[in-house]
Amino acid sequence: MMINSWKLIFAVFLSMSFFISTHAQNQKRIDSLLNVLESAKEDTAKVNILNALGSELRSNNPDTSILLATQALSLSEKVKSKKHIADSYLEIAAANHLKGNYPSSLENSFKALSLSEEIGYKPGIAKSLHYIGNAYTSKSDLPKALDYFFKAVKMYEEIGNKKGIATLLGNIGTVYIDQGDYPKALDYFFKALKMGEELGNKKGIAMHLGNIGLVYSGQGDFSKALDYYFKALKMEEEFGDKYGIEVHLSNIGNIYSKQKDYHKALDYYFRALKMAEQIGEKYGIAILLGNIGSASSAQKDYPKALDYFFKALKMHEEMENKNGIAITLGNIGGVYSQTGKFADAEEYLKKGIAINDSIGTLDNLRLFEESLSQLYDTTGRYKLALEHYKKAVELKDTLFNQEKNKEITRKEMNYEFEKAQAAHDKELAVAGIEIKKQTLLKNSLMGGIALLAILFFLIYSNFRTNQKLKLENIRNNIAADLHDDIGSTLNSISLFSEVAKKEAGKEIPALEQIGVSSRKIIDAMSDIVWTINPENDTFENVIARMRSLAYLMLKSKGIEFTFKADESLNQLSLPMLTRKNVYLLFKEATNNIVKYSNTSRASFQISHNDKNVKMVIRDSGVGFDMENTQMGNGIKNMRRRAVEIDGQLIIESAEGNGTNIELSFKAA
């Protein structure tokens, strides 16, 4: 039913005004439009006001935006203005896209395109192409999306719409992220950010900052990703843009989830979900339901995880969002695999792989191939496990090779250099004016001293920053090389030995030994990679790994244990050498409990007092005679590790009285 009364529109707007929380400047513009609208005649000027008002309200209230645009469309048809009819179709398309109604968004965008081409209305053509590209992106038809985006860029260039070009550059970058081409994505995002800064378009700047965060998140640089996300969130909160706030809250939640801080992740997800539900943004709601499901799965709350995943799947299917469908299918498969429902897991993972393969989302395809390989390995189908493991490794090489990382770094440096150069040129111009106002001698002296001080500070600061970055890059590269090259080779050896044993049809001691040895080396390699990776420098990560190791080793032998650690330890950061030695000493002591103690009970306690850390490991087993027992390599290694970190190690044991190990060391 078409709405013909503007007063009814205004009443609807007032009844839903609690949804509107915009920046003061936007509210001022809304108030101004409402004042003009009240006395506007039934002509094209009123159409423009209705569409402008709908555009202002779209991010926070797409339903009201659709009502206003529908009123504008009715009036445009009455006055027979094809240009204004096209504009109204585009407003309806934009609001429907925000609500996740992509078929309606496409339908209205194509109507606008047809009319705009008929009358040669270039701004309408450009915007229509732009919106069609948006809809195809959301439907995961990435080749079509790129085709329409590039056509739209060309049209925006013809009419000189730089704001439109900047937005499209960001959209193109988003498509390249979905295709796993991070360097190309970052290139487009920095171009878009530069244009946004030149135009002073703060809304666009916030969007581009968030997009750059996506690239760093995809590359595993979570610190940089969070930095960009929080900058973007702060700007969106200043505008009061609920859609932008929702997107950045969701992205921040994703980072915390990747860092295994699920409590924080869920907090941000639920805040984002509330925002998405307020504005009726179906796509965001579906994504967030899936994210909450993933966090619940990681916390082993599988019934809750499945409930959220199936809700998300239903919404993605309604929106025909193939990428969302594929991701959710894979997540459901992962839960079924964790709960031992391997047939169901295989079915859902295969469906997810088929869709990802068809739309070319390489990163998700890699993750699903890894999951399927693990499933086949768990169920003893080693040949299939090896086949899908190789596919996952090939995809990872495509996505994360070293040259791509170098290219990403180069692009960021180019952007920062251009930005700094522009600022420097501006400073020099101002300095030149000041010099003319003062005596040459005074300015030369004072300016020279100031410049020397600044230059010295910048050189020193830059040197320290570069040294830190070089060290972290070296550690990251070593960890990546060990994991990707040596780790992949060892995994292949292990899997090949299992395949060879199956094909031989009998026990072959040499093959068995190869499998056992390769798995031991993989375990040791995992410790080395974990130790080198700078992301694990926090004591919180060390404690989490210790707790996991104790659970895996002791529970398998039926040994009950307690593990207590002071919360204040989570705030500490450990040097790599300290972290390595503390963890490996803990691992050696735990291994000795499992092998030699013959105990049924053990305890682990890590306490923090000022800058001192104390780790106590006890068991109630058979113990050993400290005087008569020849010191083995394990105890020697523990003593050596304590010395390397300037710590004190006390080992107390007696036959029949268990063993007590205490390590004390400085945390900083």
For residues 483 and 529, the answer to whether their CB atoms sit within 8 Å is yes
Would you say the pTM of this structure is higher than 0.85? no
Which one-letter amino acid corresponds to residue 584?
A: L
Q: Does 430 score more than 70 pLDDT?
A: no
Q: Which residues contact 357 (CB under 8 A, 6 or more apart)?
A: 365
Residue 280 φ/ψ, nearest 5 degrees:
65, 35
Q: Does 459 score more than 80 pLDDT?
A: no
Q: Which residues contact 457 (CB under 8 A, 6 or more apart)?
A: none
Residue 652 φ/ψ, nearest 5 degrees:
-125, 130
The pLDDT of residue 514 is: 67
H or E element, residue 477: helix 440-481
Q: Give per-residue pLDDT as tens, 201-227.
A: 888 888 888 888 888 887 788 888 899
The pLDDT of residue 7 is: 35
Q: Calculate the average pLDDT of the chain.
A: 79
The pLDDT of residue 20 is: 34
Residue 339 or residue 10, greater confidence:
339
Q: Does 180 score more than 80 pLDDT?
A: no
For the ranges 347-351, 463-467, 470-474, the lowest mean pLDDT is seen at: 470-474
The pLDDT of residue 373 is: 86
Q: Give per-residue pLDDT as tens, 579-604.
A: 889 999 999 999 899 988 899 999 99
For the ranges 15-29, 210-224, 511-525, 613-627, the lowest mean pLDDT is seen at: 15-29
The pLDDT of residue 384 is: 86
Same fold, 1-160 and 538-666: no
Q: What is the mean pLDDT of residues 281-290?
A: 89
Query: Rounded to whole angstroms, how far apart are CA atoms 625 and 127?
Result: 83
b or e along 311-348 (b: 16 or more beta carbons within 10 Å of the residue's beta carbon)?
A: bbbebbeebebbbbbbbbbbbbbbbbbebeebeebbeb
DSSP letter assigned to residue 607: E
Q: Does 493 score more than 80 pLDDT?
A: no
Q: Give per-residue pLDDT as tens, 49-101.
A: 888 888 888 877 888 889 988 998 999 899 899 999 999 999 999 988 888 88
The pLDDT of residue 476 is: 52
Distance of CA 94 to the CA centre of its chain: 26
Where does the pLDDT of residue 660 fall: very low under 50, low under 70, confident under 90, or very high at 90 and above? very high
To which residue do tokens 């966090």 refer? 295
Q: What is the CATH number of domain 538-666?
A: 3.30.565.10
Q: List C-alpha distances in Å: 649 to 324, 660, 668.
A: 53, 11, 18
Helix (H) and strand (E) counts for the chain? 27, 5
Q: Does 158 score more than 90 pLDDT?
A: yes
> What is the distance in angstroms between the CA of the first residue and the CA of the last residue of the chain?
71
Where does the pLDDT of residue 452 fall: very low under 50, low under 70, confident under 90, or very high at 90 and above? low
Residue 488 or residue 26, greater confidence:
26
Q: Does 231 score more than 60 pLDDT?
A: yes
For the ranges 3-7, 52-56, 375-379, 469-473, the lowest mean pLDDT is seen at: 3-7
Q: Give per-residue pLDDT as tens, 130-143.
A: 999 999 988 878 88
What are the tokens at 455? 């230059």
Query: Rounded to whole angstroms, how far apart are CA atoms 276 and 56?
Result: 17
The pLDDT of residue 34 is: 77
Query: Rounded to whole angstroms, how far apart are CA atoms 44 and 65?
Result: 18
Strand 560-565 with 601-609, pairing: parallel
Where does the pLDDT of residue 385 fall: very low under 50, low under 70, confident under 90, or very high at 90 and above? confident
Q: Give per-residue pLDDT as tens, 555-571.
A: 878 899 999 999 888 88
For the ranges 137-141, 291-295, 532-536, 664-668, the lowest mean pLDDT is seen at: 532-536
Query: Rounded to whole angstroms, how far apart are CA atoms 495 and 46?
Result: 71
Residue range 1-160 forms a domain whose CATH class is: mainly alpha
Query: Could you please report the per-residue DSSP string of 338-367?
Result: HTT-HHHHHHHHHHHHHHHHHHT-HHHHHH
Where does the pLDDT of residue 358 fall: very low under 50, low under 70, confident under 90, or very high at 90 and above? confident
For residue 79, the number of C-alpha atoms closer than 13 Å in the C-beta half-sphere is: 17
For residues 579 and 529, the answer to whether their CB atoms sit within 8 Å is no
Domain boundaries, given as residue ranges, for the chain: 1-160, 321-400, 428-495+509-528, 538-666
Where does the pLDDT of residue 394 fall: very low under 50, low under 70, confident under 90, or very high at 90 and above? confident
Nearest CA to 334 among 362, 369, 363, 361? 369
Q: Which residues are paired to 450 by β-bridges?
A: none
Q: Give per-residue pLDDT as tens, 538-553.
A: 788 888 888 888 888 8
Where does the pLDDT of residue 154 fall: very low under 50, low under 70, confident under 90, or very high at 90 and above? very high
Provide, rounded to the nearest whole percent, the portion of the chain with pLDDT above 70: 74
Q: What is the CATH number of domain 321-400?
A: 1.25.40.10
Q: Does 325 score more than 60 pLDDT?
A: yes
Give, to the nearest 10 degrees, the angle between helix 162-178 and helix 202-218. 20
The pLDDT of residue 480 is: 46
Burial of 69 (0-12, 13-18, 19+ CB in 10 A): buried
Query: Could you please report the per-residue DSSP string of 130-153?
Result: HHHHHHHHHTT-HHHHHHHHHHHH
The pLDDT of residue 541 is: 82
What are the tokens at 488? 């992949």
The pLDDT of residue 473 is: 52
For residues 152 and 130, the answer to whether their CB atoms sit within 8 Å is yes
Q: What is the mean pLDDT of residues 29-53?
A: 82
Residue 409 or residue 278, greater confidence:
278
Distance of CA 143 to the CA centre of its chain: 23
For the ranges 24-28, 275-279, 527-531, the lowest mean pLDDT is seen at: 24-28
For residues 611 and 668, the answer to whether their CB atoms sit within 8 Å is yes
Nearest CA to 649 among 663, 667, 665? 663
Provide, rounded to the nearest whole percent, the portion of the chain with pLDDT above 90: 29
The pLDDT of residue 256 is: 92
The pLDDT of residue 218 is: 78
